[in-house]
Amino acid sequence: MNQTSASQTQGLVAETSSFAMLRTLSLVAGLSGFLVVLAYQITLPLIEENKRIAIERALFKVIPGAVSRRDFMLTAQGIVPADDSSGDGKLIYAGYDEQGRLSGVALEAAAQGYQDVIRLLYSFDPACQCIRGIQVLKMAETPGIGDKIAKDPQFQENFVELDARLNTDASGLANDILMVKHGTRTEPWQIDAISGATISSRAVARMLNDSAQQMVPKIMTDLDQLQGAGRGAE
Amino acid sequence: MKLPDQEEKITPDTFLRGLWEENPVFVMLLGMCPVLAVTNSAINALAMGLATTFVLLCSSSLVSLFRKLIPKQVRIATYIVIIATFVTIVDYSIQAISLDLYNALGAFIQLIVVNCMILGRAEAYASKQRLGATIVNGLGMGVGFTIALLCLGSVREILGAGSLFGFPLFAENFQPWVVMILPPGGFFVLGGWLLLFNWYRQYRERKLMEQQGASAHGS
């Protein structure tokens, strides 16, 4: 019985030529490629627009007192207005108040969180050399636990005036931004963790530290460029 | 060698089977990964249900159209490529519709690719049936899946966050039952619904038996 079914199967296998398999697979793969590219082309402008709106919304929330903004590009030559530069660089956003004075600079930072990369926007105020707020752009933290980094009012209080002063030779921060256990914050450069969400809290502290160590010295060097642009801000 | 004709005619049952008798979630327990993971709010559940329905419909239709062309040996590979294509399209579309929704659904959009309900439909139904029957059946299955997800999502959101579709239902001092929107809550609520469904099914069967017994006595 077994033998007959085995030989039957073999017979069936022999009937299908490699050509048929190749034909089907390449047909399906070609069709698939076409559809994916088509969907990508159609949705790309909409997705870009959505991302821009999301950043803009977060921007005015994260920079206190800002009513207008200008984009700048951080290149090897320093900070240049985004429209003038064609080269690669990190995009930074300057926010201005009603009188056209620089009220803060918003920067993007990212680090690995508990489940996926957390991306956020934070604002740096050159007047007090401190971080003035954070807005989470993208995260996949546990609902009810890790996602408190976006909303928890106690955690947000860390970023009302988080110290990010330059060190004496202006190469980095005077004090590393560090996470401390819940309720043990003593210094203005420390971040009080959310109890139960240590990994997410630490990710925020780490990305702020990494980004600020690198960006704050550059912003302070080219501060004139940022401040002078306030008149023409949209 | 030709297999006996397995093609079925389109009847109301072709559609309704997915809603009740072969409901992918409550009866067949398929696709549990998104069922448990993204049903922490009603809106996520609805979006996931619709996205899955779209992928199911499109991939089943394509499989059904190509069914005579697909050699047995490479059928699974072919199905996966077809399913993956539509998942990618859904992925882009959701990003274009709403980034907030996209962020809330996270990796589970991409994971529709491995939803065994879709592969199961392709293998067990679409590969043997005509296009029309496949579309009707797939629509039924998709609607059944969406309803099931919505059942879980709304219960979890009401209990775990005190709201439905984002609108708060209770007064300020309502203490939400947070565990319900965490992963364990998914299991609790799914268990509850399965209990309800099985209880009702058994109740109906008993009723039917009693009726048959009574009519047998009567004659």
Q: Is residue A157 part of a domain?
A: yes
What is the mean predicted confidence (pLDDT) over B75-87?
Answer: 92
CA distance B36 to B205: 29
CA distance B29 to B217: 39
Interface test with A, best of B83, B87, B88, B180 (most A CBs within 10 A): B88
Say whether residue A32 is in contact with chain B using an 8 A CB cutoff. Answer: yes
B96 Cα to chain A: minimum distance (Å) = 5
Q: For the segment B98-114, what is each residue's pLDDT rounded down to a tens digit?
A: 888 887 787 788 888 88
Burial of A229 by CB count in 10 Å (0-12 exposed, 13-18 middle, 19+ buried)?
A: middle
Q: Is A167 helix (H, G, I), strand (E, B) or coil?
A: coil
B74: nearest CB among A21, A32, A116: A21
Burial of A211 by CB count in 10 Å (0-12 exposed, 13-18 middle, 19+ buried)?
A: buried
Helix axes B131-161, B12-19, angle to 10 degrees: 30
Say whether residue A1 is in contact with chain B using an 8 A CB cutoff. Answer: no
A206 Cα to chain B: minimum distance (Å) = 22
Distances in Å between the alpha carbon of B172 and those of B41, B161, B162, B177?
19, 12, 10, 14
Three-state SS string across B161-210, please? HCEECCEECCCCCCCCCHHHHCHHHHHHHHHHHHHHHHHHHHHHHHHHHH
B167 Cα to chain A: minimum distance (Å) = 17
Query: Cβ A46–B96 below 8 Å, yes or no?
Result: yes
Interface test with A, best of B92, B102, B105, B127 (most A CBs within 10 A): B92
* pLDDT beyond 60 at A6: no
Q: Is residue A98 part of a domain?
A: yes
Q: Is A182 helix (H, G, I), strand (E, B) or coil?
A: coil
Query: Same domain, yes or no, for A68 and A40?
Result: no
Q: Is residue A84 part of a domain?
A: yes
A36: nearest CB among B70, B74, B85: B85
Q: How many CB pairs under 8 A join A and B?
A: 79
Confidence of residue A196 (pLDDT cuts 50, 70, 90): confident
* pLDDT beyond 50 at B1: no
- Predicted TM-score (pTM) of the model is 0.72
Say whether residue A10 is in contact with chain B using an 8 A CB cutoff. Answer: no
B178: nearest CB among A13, A54, A144: A144
Do residues A122 and A162 make contact, with C-beta atoms less than 8 angstroms apart? no
Q: State the pLDDT at residue A87.
A: 63
Query: Same domain, yes or no, for A121 and A10?
Result: no
Query: Cβ A20–B181 below 8 Å, yes or no?
Result: no
Query: Cβ A20–B77 below 8 Å, yes or no?
Result: no
* pLDDT beyond 70 at A98: yes
Q: Is residue A225 part of a domain?
A: yes
Q: State the pLDDT at residue A74.
A: 81
Query: Same domain, yes or no, for A123 and A33?
Result: no
Interface test with B, best of A44, A47, A119 (most B CBs within 10 A): A47
Q: For the segment A46-95, what is each residue's pLDDT rounded down to a tens digit?
A: 999 998 888 888 888 888 888 888 888 887 777 878 776 566 778 888 88
Q: For the segment B4-18, what is each residue's pLDDT rounded down to a tens digit?
A: 456 778 888 888 888
Helix or strand holding residue B45 (H, E): helix B42-65
Q: How many Cα atoms sit within 13 Å of A177 on the Cβ side?
A: 31
A43: nearest CB among B70, B85, B92: B92
What is the mean predicted confidence (pLDDT) over B109-133?
Answer: 88
The residues, any chain, with a CB within 8 Å of residue A209's CB and separated by 6 or more, are A173, A176, A177, A178
Query: Same domain, yes or no, for A93 and A125?
Result: yes
Query: Same domain, yes or no, for A208 and A147?
Result: yes
Query: Same domain, yes or no, for A20 and A79?
Result: no
Task: Write down the mean pLDDT value for chain A.
Answer: 83
Query: Same domain, yes or no, for A80 and A42?
Result: no
Query: Same domain, yes or no, for A114 and A41?
Result: no
**Residue listed under structure tokens 């297999």:** B3
CA distance A44 to B135: 29
Query: Cβ A145–B182 below 8 Å, yes or no?
Result: yes
Q: State the pLDDT at residue A1.
A: 43
Query: Same domain, yes or no, for A11 and A75?
Result: no
Q: State the pLDDT at residue A232.
A: 54
A46 Cα to chain B: minimum distance (Å) = 5
Query: Same domain, yes or no, for A67 and A180?
Result: yes
Q: Is residue A82 part of a domain?
A: yes
Q: Is A178 helix (H, G, I), strand (E, B) or coil?
A: strand
What is the mean predicted confidence (pLDDT) over B125-132?
Answer: 89
| Residue B115 dihedral angles phi and psi, to the nearest 5° | -65, 115
Q: For the segment B134-184, what is each residue's pLDDT rounded down to a tens digit?
A: 999 999 999 999 999 999 999 999 988 888 887 888 877 777 888 888 888
The percent of residues above 70 in pLDDT, for chain A, comes to 89
Do residues A131 and A212 make contact, with C-beta atoms less than 8 angstroms apart? yes
Domain enclosing residue A30, as ranges:
2-46
Helical H runs in B98-182? Answer: 99-105, 116-121, 131-161
Query: Same domain, yes or no, for A139 and A166?
Result: yes
Do residues B80 and B19 make contact, with C-beta atoms less than 8 angstroms apart? no
**Residue listed under structure tokens 């005579």:** B68
Domain count, chain A: 2
Query: Same domain, yes or no, for A41 and A127?
Result: no
Burial of B141 by CB count in 10 Å (0-12 exposed, 13-18 middle, 19+ buried)?
A: buried
Do residues A183 and A159 make contact, with C-beta atoms less than 8 angstroms apart? no
| A36 CA to centre of own chain | 26
CA distance B15 to A224: 68
